Structure 1
Amino acid sequence: MVSAQPRCGYTLPVFACAGAIAALHQLIHHASVPTVAFNLLNPDETVEIEIEQVAPLSKNSALAITRSDPGDNLDLTRHTPIWSIVSWAEACQTEQILLEGGEGIGHHTDGDAIYAYARQLIVTHLSAQLTDTQKIKVTIVLPEGRRLALRTSNAAFGVVDGLSLLGTSGIAQPLSAPDQLTVYRETLRQKAADYLDLVFCLGENGLDLATQHGIDADRRLKTANWLGPLLVEAGELGVRSILLFGYHGKLVKLAGGIFHTHHHVADARQEIMAACCVQAGLETTVAQQVLASATTEAALEILKSLDRSSGENWVEQVYGVIAKRIDQRSHAYIKTHTEQSVQVGSILFDRQRQIVVKSEIGQILLAN
C-alpha cells in the first residue's frame, strides 16, 4: 500500500492576513464574508481561507477570527484562534498601515515578534483595498498565544509573552510527518540541479537570518533535524559546498559527531561545549561550570561573563573550536558515506539572533 503524502497547511501569517482582509472588508463595506482568497506571494499561489467570525466593534473598527490549520504537522497552534482587528487610523499615524501585535503575540528587543513575511503579506493585500488617503491600524491577537508559548523554545530566541508570526512562506510543511525526509530530499535534488553551493538552515530563524546576511533565498534549504541524511544526499548529488546556518544550541551537536539533532535521539551539548572549552585552553573550573549549566545559552553566558570580567575573548576562542569541529566532522561524515569531498562551513547564532561565530570556511562561503 502506498502511503498518502503528508498534507500541507498554512503558517500563522496566512490566517492573520485572511482575518485582516475580512475585517477590512467589514469596515469598508459593512458586510461579512465567509472566505477570502488571496495570493501567498511565497509561493506564488492563490488560496482560499475560511473566516470563522466577523463583527464590527464600532463604527471605526472590525474584528475577524480565523483558526489555524498547519496540515499534517504536530504543531501546537493547530485550531488556535487568530483575531485580526482593523481600525481606521488616528490622525497622528504616518504609515498607511500600522501593524502591531496584541495579546498573545510575543515581543523581542526589536519590538513585536511579527516578521518580514507576515508584514509583507498583510501590507500588500490590505493596501490594495485602500485609497491613497485612507490609513488603518491592524492588530493581531492570539488569545492562546501566551499559554502556548510556554511549550515552545521561543524564550531561547529572546521572544517572550507569546508566539511569533514567523515564517518565510505561506505553506506549513509537515515537518514531523514520517515522510517529510523524502520531501526534503526531493527539494535538495531540485536545488542541487541549479546550484553547486547550498546553505542548510535548521529552522525558520536560520532561513530568515540567512537572507538578512545577503544569502540568495533560492540557495537555502530547510533541514529541521535531518542534517545527517541531507549532508550525505548533498554529497551524492555532487554539491560543492554547504554553509550550515543555525542556532548554536542545535549545531553544537555536530561538533560531537551527532548528525540527527532532535533531543530525543541524543543530547550531549554541554559535554561537547565543555570539551571544546578544554581544547581552547580554559581552566578546568570554568569547563566544569559549562558542563553543569542547564542550557547551552547559560553556558554561552558563562563565557560572556568571563570575557567581561577578564578582558579576554573566550567566546571567540571556544566557539572557534566548536565551529571548526563542526566543519571537520561534517566534511568527514560526507566523505565516509559518499567518498565525496564537500567543503563545509558554519555560522552559529544565539537566542537574540546575533551571530556568535563564523568558521573560517563559513566566512569564505558567506562571501561567495
Structure 2
Amino acid sequence: MHETEEVSNILSDRISALSESQTIAMAKKARELAAQGHDVINLSFGEPDFQTPQYIKDAAKKAIDEGFTFYTPVAGYPELRQAIADKFKRDNNLDYKPENIVVSTGAKQSIANAILCLVNPGDEVIIFSPYWVSYEEIVKLAEGVSVPLMGRLENEYKVTPEQLENAITSNTKVVMYSSPCNPTGSVFDEEELLALARVLQKHPQVYVIADEIYEYINFEGRHASMAGFDFIKDRVITINGFSKGYAMTGWRVGYLAAHKDIAAACDKMQSQITSGTNSIAQKAAFAALQGGKASAEEMREAYRRRRNLVLDLMNDIPGFKTYVPAGAFYIFPDVSYYFGKSYNGKTINTALDLSMFLLTDAFVALVSGEAFGAPQCIRFSFATSDEKLAEALRRIKTSLAKLQ
C-alpha cells in the first residue's frame, strides 16, 4: 500500500458504511482523559459494576480442571441448551427444545445471526426507537433498510400499535425491539405486547426479534415475552444472555430461541463465523442457570435504589425532561433545553455537543442520543456506585449552570 493511497479506496463499502459504536467511542475518550490524570466518572457504558457471582466463577475453574478445553457444538453444549429451554419454561412459560436454542458469543452475535439469516438486500426492518446502537448497523451489514419508529417520551418512548400498523409495508421483513429497553429503560407489559402482536398477526411475512437481555432488571413486575402468544410464536426470535442479569459481560455468552428452522439457519451462519462459544464460558453459564435468580434479584434491587437516587438528583437540574424507567439501568432525558446555550464562546447545538461539554468540563462520560436514534437525548447509565452517581450529578448540575 502506498502511503498516499487512501484507506477508503481499499476497504469494502460494507465496512465504510458502518459507524463506530458511540458507547465504545465515548468510553475510549473517557479513558484518554483518565490517563491524563483527570478523575472521570464513566456513565457511558452499559456494564454492571458487580462482580460475577462466585459460584459461577467456581464452575469455570472446575471446567478448566476437568478438561473442557475443546471445540463445542456450534449451537452450544446440549446440556446448556436444555438448561436454557428449562429457563424459558420456568421464567416465561415458553415451551422450547434444545433444537430451538443457539448459544452465541454474546447477545449481539445472536441478533446478528438472526438478522443475517432473515434479511435480504432491500428488506425493511422496523426498529422501535430509541434503540440500542448496534441494531441499525447490523441491518446495514445485511443490506437491509432500517425504518426507525419513534415512541413518545410521554408514553415512556413506547411505540403504539397504531404507529406499528402505519409503518408496515409490503417490504417489511422484521420488527425489532428491546424490553426492558436500552437506552430508555421502558418495559412493554403483556397487554401492550398483545396489542402489538395482534397487528403483526395480520402480516404473516413479518418476523419479530425481541431483545430481552435486561429481563431480570425489571422494576415493575413480571416480564412479558412476545413469544408468549401462540398465534405469533413461530415468527418470534427471542434474544437473551448472561451479561446483564448475571454480571457476566466479559464471558460473552448470549442465546436465541426460535422456530427450529430459523435456529438451524443461525447455527449454519455461526458455523462459518465463530463456531461454538467459549467452552469454559458455556460451563459458567450453565452454572448460572442452575443457581437460580437470587443474585440477579439482589442486583435488581440495587439498580432500583440507584434509579431513584438519580431521578431525585435530576429533579434539581433545570431543563431535563425525565420519566421513570421501569427496567434496565438507564435514564434517557430530553436535554434539548440546553441547545443554543453557550459557554466560553462554544455553543451547544446538539446532544453530542452537550455530552462532550460535560465530559471535558465535568469529567462525566455520557452517550449522546444520536447513537440511539434520539438526537435530543443523552443516555445516563446508573450501573455504578451510589457515591459516584451522586458526585456525577453534582458535577453535571454545576457545569450546566455555566451555560447561558
| Structure-2-length-normalised TM-score | 0.24
Which of 1 and 2 has higher RCO (CA within 8 Å, sep 6+)? 2
**Bigger Rg over Cα:** 1
Structure 1 length-normalised TM: 0.25
